[in-house]
Amino acid sequence: MKMISVVIPLYNESILVDRLLQKVIKNVKAEKEPFEVVCVDDGSTDDTLSKLLMFRKEAPEVKVISLSRNFGLQAAITAGLEFSKGERVVIMDGDLQDPPEVIPQLLQKMKETNCDVVSAVRSKRMENFSKRFFIRVFHKIFSNISEGNQVEQSGNFCLLSRKAVQSVLAFSERNRYFPGIRNFIGFQHEFVMYDRADRAEGEAKMTSRKLFSLAADAIYSFSKWPIKACLYLGLLGVVVFLLAIVYTLVSKFTGLAPFGWSSTFLAISFFGSVQLTFLGLIGEYIFRIYKEVQKRPVYLVKQVFDDTANDHEVNI
Ligand code: UDP
Ligand code: MG
């Protein structure tokens, strides 16, 4: 029998832990197959970890990976995937925005179609207007400018076959964007639609700053668009510059009034600002290259609580 793993990243989700795990286990148990729930505690500062360990006493299927500090959602997903053992692996958020009731549908879809990836696609969203707006704009732009057949309105929530998990883990980049990688790997990819609820309790742990930086990671990693836009703008600048030269020469030889400082000023400020923008953008790429070259670990593990060993310490 093939084992099912459910990977859940958690950061300060103490109030939700019990409800979440109960629901997840209820839905996965219904499959009557062996399963594990891999909870990654992403350096929570509340009592998420002790709640998880408490729950684990009653349900040994729950495994807990405690990271040494908050490494961020993407790193936590990577940790969960690396520790998961199942032949099929569900990835979901821990705030009940990804409804556990959809898990059986994902598994069913994979069974029916024998595919390697099933993404849960949000048909409706219940978050506040500004967040919905930002996410919609991001998905529109991202799916239009990125490589690898990006699917709009699909987040982390999905089911992967072991083959797909291995493929996702083969991507060694530090600035990770999981939905982008998942859509990039190929294989037969199926979809299940669902309505996305608002988070059940508490504040969003992906703050606006974290969301913007994730959107930037997604675009820089999966699109040539920023650097291409520079090239096109640069070329446009050259055309404008050539026209200006022609205009200058014509006015010089036809005896038109000489240029004043305004045209000079405009030209300098235009090219100056374009150059600064481009330098900033190139700096962004260099910074990312630097990050990749450093090859720092994506996450560090403080402790693992699973059934193979009693609370042993692992350092990667
Ligand atoms: N999360 C995490 N590390 C972080 C931020 C978030 O593991 O640094 C977890 C969080 O606990 C939740 C999931 O990632 O289970 C999604 O976070 P959130 O609901 O804040 O994201 P949003 O729904 O706003 O995109
Ligand atoms: Mg959420």
CB 206 within 8 A of CB 155: no
Band the pLDDT of 62: cuts 50, 70, 90. Answer: very high
Question: Residue 64 Cα, ligand 1 centroid: separation in angstroms?
Answer: 17
Question: Residue 264 Cα, ligand 2 centroid: separation in angstroms?
Answer: 52
- Write out the residue range of the structural domain in which residue 247 sits: 223-294
Q: Is the pLDDT higher at 269 or at 190?
A: 190
Residues 110 and 82 in one domain: yes
Dihedral angle of Cα 98, 101, 106, 109, to the nearest 10 degrees: -150
Q: Which ligand approaches the C-alpha of residue 204 most closely? A: 1
Band the pLDDT of 315: cuts 50, 70, 90. Answer: very low
135 lines ligand 1 (CB under 6 A): no
Residues 95 and 195 in one domain: yes
Distance CA 9, CA 94 (A): 6
Band the pLDDT of 21: cuts 50, 70, 90. Answer: very high
What is the average pLDDT score of the chain?
87
Residues 185 and 235 in one domain: no
Residues 177-187: b if buried by 16+ CB within 10 A, e if exposed? bbbbbbbbbee
Query: CATH number of the domain that 128 lies in?
Result: 3.90.550.10
Tokens of 102: 């959809």
Number of independent structural domains in the chain: 2
Q: Which of 7, 95, 132, 135 to mutate to test the pocket of ligand 1 (most atoms within 8 A of CB)?
A: 95
Assembly ipTM? 0.96
Band the pLDDT of 316: cuts 50, 70, 90. Answer: very low
Percentage of the chain beyond pLDDT 70 is 93
Give the global pTM. 0.81
pLDDT digits (tens, 9 = 90+) for 101-121: 999 999 999 999 999 999 999
Which pLDDT score, from 0 to 100, does residue 72 have? 93
Band the pLDDT of 146: cuts 50, 70, 90. Answer: confident
Which pLDDT score, from 0 to 100, does residue 172 have? 87
Q: Residue 124: beta bridge partners?
A: 195
41 lines ligand 1 (CB under 6 A): no
Is residue 216 situated within a structural domain?
no
